[in-house]
Amino acid sequence: MVNFTLIPNRGYDEPKYGGSSNWGVCNIRIDAPEANGIMPAHAKSVRLENIYGDRIYYHHIDIVSSKNVVVDGYWATRGGEGNSDAPIQFDNQTEGTTANGVWDGDSYTLAANDGTPTSNCALRTSQSIQQTAPRTVSTSTATGTRRSRLKTAILSAVNTRRFGLIPARCSRI
């Protein structure tokens, strides 16, 4: 199955901000050309820190109908294999949306499509690690977010070591 989410939260299919709150993910590398990465959906008070995105189907991070989400430290080598020009996206799940789902091994379930806005979210310390022009961060119809440009940079081999399997502590939420 293509286009499922690797790391969803509990309650992604709950209305409003009824999903999991006060959680985070840090210090990981996402390399999944047939899936999407992290999808906080209908969540609140989430911190994503030091996320390194390599191959992906659409988005390494897709913040869907959530509030108070901070992404601090995000590096992307490319956009999606599924012709996505947004390796990170701030989104909301409106009625009729057929994306933003979770595959549980038996069935594909979409995030609740009640139109809950994405609000009060921040993207800090982000870079596009590619040799082409920088890509625009997609904000869809989210509220409380700003359209910004990812900076172009080359990450040295020394810096890529920080994304290995060495455990590190996340900041407090």
Mean per-residue pLDDT over the chain, rounded: 77
- Domain count for the chain: 1
- The answer to whether residue 163 sits within a structural domain is no
Write down the residue that tokens 């994304």 correspond to.
Answer: 163
- The answer to whether residue 23 sits within a structural domain is yes
Domain that holds residue 137: 5-157
Q: Which residues neighbour 63 within 8 Å (Cβ) at sequence distance 6 or greater?
A: 39, 40, 69, 71, 89, 90, 91, 118, 121, 142
- The answer to whether residue 149 sits within a structural domain is yes
- The answer to whether residue 153 sits within a structural domain is yes
- The answer to whether residue 165 sits within a structural domain is no
Q: What is the pLDDT of residue 79?
A: 76
- The amino acid at residue 152 is T
Beta carbons of 129 and 73 less than 8 angstroms apart? no
Tell me the pTM: 0.75
- The answer to whether residue 168 sits within a structural domain is no
- CA dist., res. 53 & res. 76, Å (int): 5
Q: Which residues neighbour 140 within 8 Å (Cβ) at sequence distance 6 or greater?
A: 89, 90, 91, 92
- The answer to whether residue 42 sits within a structural domain is yes
Given pLDDT bands bounded at 50, 70 and 90, which one contains residue 105?
Answer: confident
The pLDDT tens digits of the residues spanning 118-155 come to 999 999 887 776 544 344 344 333 333 333 322 222 22
Tokens found for residue 36: 């999407």
Strands (E) across 9-156 are located at 21-32, 36-39, 44-56, 61-64, 67-76, 88-91, 101-103, 108-110, 122-128, 151-152
- CA dist., res. 118 & res. 108, Å (int): 23
Tokens found for residue 87: 């390796």
Chain centre distance of CA 48 = 8
- The answer to whether residue 132 sits within a structural domain is yes
The pLDDT tens digits of the residues spanning 62-103 come to 999 999 999 999 998 877 888 777 889 999 898 888 888 888
